[in-house]
Amino acid sequence: MGASILSDFGAEILIPVCAVIGIAFSLVQWVLVSKVKLSPGRESVNNGSGAKNGYSDYLIEEEEGLNDHSVVLKCAEIQSAISEGATSFLFTEYQYVGIFMVAFAILIFLFLGSVEGFSSKSQPCTYDKSKICKPALATAAFSTISFLLGAITSVVSGFLGMKIATYANARTTLEARKGVGKAFITAFRSGAVMGFLLAANGLLVLYIAINLFKLYYGDDWSGLFEAITGYGLGGSSMALFGRVGGGIYTKAADVGADLVGKVERNIPEDDPRNPAVIADNVGDNVGDIAGMGSDLFGSYAESSCAALVVASISSFGINHELTPMLYPLIISSVGIIVCLITTLFATDFFEIKAVKEIEPSLKRQLIISTVLMTIGIGIVSWIALPSSFTIFNFGDQKAVKNWQLFLCVAVGLWAGLIIGFVTEYYTSNAYSPVQDVADSCRTGAATNVIFGLALGYKSCIIPIFAIAISIFVSFSFAAMYGIAVAALGMLSTIATGLAIDAYGPISDNAGGIAEMAGMSHRIRERTDALDAAGNTTAAIGKGFAIGSAALVSLALFGAFVSRAAISTVDVLTPKVFIGLLVGAMLPYWFSAMTMKSVGSAALKMVEEVRRQFNTIPGLMEGTTKPDYATCVKISTDASIKEMIPPGALVMLTPLVVGIFFGVETLSGVLAGSLVSGVQIELNEK
């Protein structure tokens, strides 16, 4: 079948080096952002050196607060309040979730260990009975360790993303005094810090875990990579709670701030007189930054682990070919370098000079990263894979060529771009769908709701076809392994995707700080322009997350069916059909629980904001400060309390169904929830 051009030693060097480069690049971006000082003082003259990013330029307009030290101090004060609120919430959330994760880790150990009665004796391998593999007890122990490792990595990824976002929001506001281009660069560089830290840390930790586990497993690669799957489960489990908890927090604060402040009291958004304004800005960080970071990390970890598991029982694992075995990690490594080059196009090669250039610059990031990554995938597939090999396909070995695997990854990559652009089309105010919805507001809320629902339903069509084509092509060429690497292809530019996604909440916070600090209307117009582009890019990030999650879920479903020795999933079997119905219902149940939680938390927030407006003298006149802390506490307490039941529903349903109704019913539940969940997610993005 031939050997790969890239040596095993070369692969083992390439992966950690690319990860370290990604971490180093993120630190460089952080240093550049930190040059914007949150302290009063006239900035030094550039002396004609022409610094492109303008850190040593004079502020361009006196009326925009060049010498107004109180404005700078106010920005620093607001940023500190937002950072403290976000940090406090995440620490509280992680304490509760940590208890749940430990309990679930114990369950994993007990269930996996009981497969062979907690035997510590070696046993015949699952997929090749002629060989002897490590005991089930070892798999249980190492799976539990990798589960906790994935959960911790997810927590760290979300937390670091939140910290850089809260570090950069006020700096973006201050840079807006120099022009929209300077503010854009600060916000985007801050997002890049999060993107590269998450991508590089996830890759490096997974690579180190594989090498450490290999010290025990030796030549038992199927056992090794089966134990590694816990890494993906831990990452996605933490992502679940991060998204639910952060989502409840941000929506409760958003509703409370807007409903009372904007609608009832007719004051601007982010007005400092609004008691919920700090909670609203905190919510942008804990929901859209920390939550999204954990979410995309979970998808990345799951797709990598799914690909590695299938590869371990294919010719790569059977013949102990290390470089082809690490093909998924090499793709991610090259993705970091590609995203690094792509980022320079936004921050160094092209300078934003006008508001109308912001959104095209962000879209250009997606196009450039996709084109460069296609070339990178082609090179990796040529040097890291033998010309032909076999892939495990439900008990058989399917012959595959390296160019076919290249197409699997590439189709996932380009499907992600299509989903991103379709999402942008349906969410940007530059195109007719959003304009039609806005126009429908002229006749009242009823027509607005009808048009909005119709638009949401319609937006599902093209992404679903893109996902379907990706599944068909990748499965035809390389079975479930093809689907797993297609998902990895969609996430191969995760550093750029996260940078674009994190840019949105940072810009949103920057606008809020400008309003609260009393900065000029012209500066607010600049931050609003950044925010408008950020709202669209946030939707693009959600589109990537949904598309990759669909592919990853199918790959994991295939791994489950293979591991459970289910040859076919027959929908005409009553047990399976019942499972399909229940599974299709689960996303609606989950949505109902989270929406009710948001409603309950928002109700408390609205009551508190109304109370403060009605009882605090001078609040509307701006002579008295509102009680921001109480609103932050309401959102924190509500989200912590309400996030556990939806999370428990998702985590415990497979266990309950599998134990009491068997694997056939469970296969139906998983399939039904996958199909139903993708539609709902695409509709609600």
Q: What percent of the chain has pLDDT over 90?
A: 38
Read off the pLDDT of each residue in 377-402 and give the average, rounded to a whole number: 91
Comparing 245-259, 457-471, 603-617, 664-678, which segment has the lowest mean pLDDT?
A: 245-259
Question: In b/e form, how buried is each residue of 502-540, taking b as 16+ CB within 10 angstroms?
Answer: bbbbbbbbbbbbbbbbebbeebbebbbbbbbbbebbbbb
| pLDDT interval class at 408 (50, 70, 90) | very high
Domain limits of the chain? 10-34+66-569
- Please state, as a whole number, how many other Cβ atoms lie within 10 Å of the Cβ of residue 117: 8
For position 215, what pLDDT does the model report? 93
- DSSP 8-class letter at 58: P
Q: Coil, strand or helix: which one is 132?
A: strand
For position 1, what pLDDT does the model report? 56
- DSSP 8-class letter at 264: I
Q: Which residue has the higher pLDDT, 36 or 208?
A: 208
For position 102, what pLDDT does the model report? 92
Rounded CA gap, 342 and 431, in Å? 26
Read off the pLDDT of each residue in 656-675 and give the average, rounded to a whole number: 91
For position 58, what pLDDT does the model report? 41
Read off the pLDDT of each residue in 248-261 and give the average, rounded to a whole number: 86
488 touches 409 (CB < 8 A)? yes
280 touches 253 (CB < 8 A)? yes
Rounded CA gap, 43 and 180, in Å? 18
Tell me the Cα Rg of the chain: 25
Q: What is the per-residue pLDDT across 437-478, written as a single tens digit (0 to 9) for each?
A: 999 998 988 999 999 989 988 988 999 999 999 999 999 999
For position 63, what pLDDT does the model report? 42
| pLDDT interval class at 653 (50, 70, 90) | very high
Read off the pLDDT of each residue in 351-364 and give the average, rounded to a whole number: 84
**pLDDT > 70? residue 400:** yes
Q: What is the per-residue pLDDT across 53-100, written as a single tens digit (0 to 9) for each?
A: 444 344 444 344 444 678 888 898 899 999 999 998 898 888 888 988
Among 279, 219, 374, 372, which residue's Cα sits nearest to residue 89?
Answer: 279
Among 545, 520, 650, 369, which residue's Cα sits nearest to residue 62?
Answer: 520
Among 165, 541, 534, which residue's Cα sits nearest to residue 358?
Answer: 534
* Prediction pTM value: 0.89
Among 647, 664, 465, which residue's Cα sits nearest to residue 550?
Answer: 465
For position 49, what pLDDT does the model report? 40
* Beta strands 123-124; 132-133: pairing state: antiparallel
Among 410, 544, 543, 384, which residue's Cα sits nearest to residue 482?
Answer: 410
Read off the pLDDT of each residue in 33-41 and give the average, rounded to a whole number: 79
Q: What is the per-residue pLDDT across 129-158, written as a single tens digit (0 to 9) for each?
A: 667 778 888 889 999 999 999 999 988 888
Both tokens assigned to 660: 């009491």
Read off the pLDDT of each residue in 255-262 and give the average, rounded to a whole number: 85
Among 631, 679, 640, which residue's Cα sits nearest to residue 457?
Answer: 679
Question: In b/e form, how buried is each residue of 626-648, taking b as 16+ CB within 10 angstroms?
Answer: bebebbbbbbbebbbebbbebbe
Q: What does the chain come to in residues?
A: 685
For position 27, what pLDDT does the model report? 93
